[in-house]
Amino acid sequence: MVRIVDDAAHSPARKRRDLEDRKRMEYRRAIEDFSERRRLNYEIHDYPELVAANAAVTIGLNRHA
């Protein structure tokens, strides 16, 4: 069986593009995570009683730890 070797897959330009793609995807994920946290934060602030209850639970848990 003949094995075909693709030199383009191992070229420096290909490696550089792959690295740039990975960085771009990390940046995109960070933006999406930030947007999601921001959206959830706005939704939570629509219910201030939940924020107060969550703070009380958190303070209580910290005292028991």
| Stretch 7-31: mean pLDDT | 92
Average pLDDT, the chain: 83
Per-residue pLDDT band for 37 (boundaries 50, 70, 90) equals very high
Domain boundaries along the sequence of the chain: 12-64
Percent of the chain's residues with pLDDT above 90: 45
Whole-number pLDDT of residue 8? 64
Non-local (6+) Cβ contacts of 50 within 8 A are 44
| Stretch 2-7: mean pLDDT | 60
* pLDDT at residue 4 tops 70: no
Q: Which of 52, 55, 51, 56 is nearest to 41 (CA)?
A: 51
